[in-house]
């Protein structure tokens, strides 16, 4: 691990110059400069002084932060086609079942539907991208057109259906994951 960049980033986050950090630790500006460029290594006691001056400690400084992935594309999607129900489900985030919510894109052909989901904890949100769908929740049915959204608690059986003449597409998010 190269500690120089981490020290420099912490110094800049604290709004300190190399000289100011050096003064707080009784070190020279030149030593701080060499340290930040990984041209020298501090003793444990010196590093502890620097970290204290920067408002952190060994545990937080050396903790490896896992880089969180934020952007996903078509290569990351997983698709399942159900010929019987005339739908296609596209999971938009890999391993989303481990997250607090699970977004999918569902395409439903005319006369098709999604598999009925049993009541469960959580909530459901959807946004219709193309066509018109019906949200069937318990004994009630709600028509949702392109550009409209739906939101409901998932405490009763529910599914989507397409009674129109052309394919419908919607983003559907379940929290917690249930797809």
Question: Could you read off the pLDDT tens digit of each residue along the chain, which spans 179 residues?
Answer: 689 999 999 999 999 999 999 999 999 999 999 999 999 999 999 999 999 999 999 999 988 777 778 899 999 999 999 999 999 999 999 887 788 899 999 999 999 999 999 999 999 999 999 999 999 999 999 999 999 999 999 999 999 999 999 999 999 999 988 76
Distance CA 134, CA 144 (A): 6
Largest pairwise CA distance in the chain: 77
Which has the closest alpha carbon to 143: 164, 116, 167, 115?
164
Distance CA 126, CA 78 (A): 19
Top-level class of domain 74-175: mainly beta
Cβ–Cβ contacts within 10 Å for residue 106, how many? 22
What CATH number was assigned to the domain covering residues 3-62?
1.10.260.40
Domain 3-62 matches domain 74-175 at the CATH topology level: no
Distance CA 108, CA 136 (A): 14
Q: pLDDT value at position 1?
A: 60
Both tokens of 137, joined, read 């929740």
Question: How many residues are present in the chain?
Answer: 179
Query: Where along the chain do its domains lie?
Result: 3-62, 74-175
Q: pLDDT value at position 2?
A: 81
What is the pTM assigned to this prediction?
0.64
Distance CA 162, CA 143 (A): 10
Burial class (CB in 10 A: 0-12, 13-18, 19+), 21: buried
Give the pairing type, strands 149-153 and 123-130.
Answer: antiparallel
Which has the closest alpha carbon to 93: 80, 76, 69, 106?
76
């Amino acid at each position: 691990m190269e500690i120089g960049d981490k020290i420099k980033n912490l110094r800049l986050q604290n709004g300190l110059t190399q000289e100011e950090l050096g003064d707080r630790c009784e070190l020279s500006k030149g030593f701080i400069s060499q340290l930040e460029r990984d041209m020298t290594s501090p003793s444990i006691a010196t590093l502890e002084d620097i970290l204290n001056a920067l408002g952190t400690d060994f545990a937080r400084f050396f903790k490896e932060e896992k880089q969180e992935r934020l952007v996903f594309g078509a290569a990351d999607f997983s698709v399942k086609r159900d010929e019987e129900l005339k739908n296609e489900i596209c999971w938009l985030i890999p391993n989303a079942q481990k997250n607090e919510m699970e977004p999918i894109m569902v395409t439903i052909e005319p006369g098709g539907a999604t598999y009925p989901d049993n009541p469960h904890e959580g909530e459901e949100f959807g946004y219709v991208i193309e066509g018109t769908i019906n949200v069937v929740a318990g004994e009630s049915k709600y028509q949702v057109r392109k550009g409209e959204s739906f939101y409901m608690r998932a405490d009763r059986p529910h599914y989507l259906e397409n009674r129109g003449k052309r394919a419908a597409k919607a983003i559907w998010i379940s929290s917690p994951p249930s797809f």
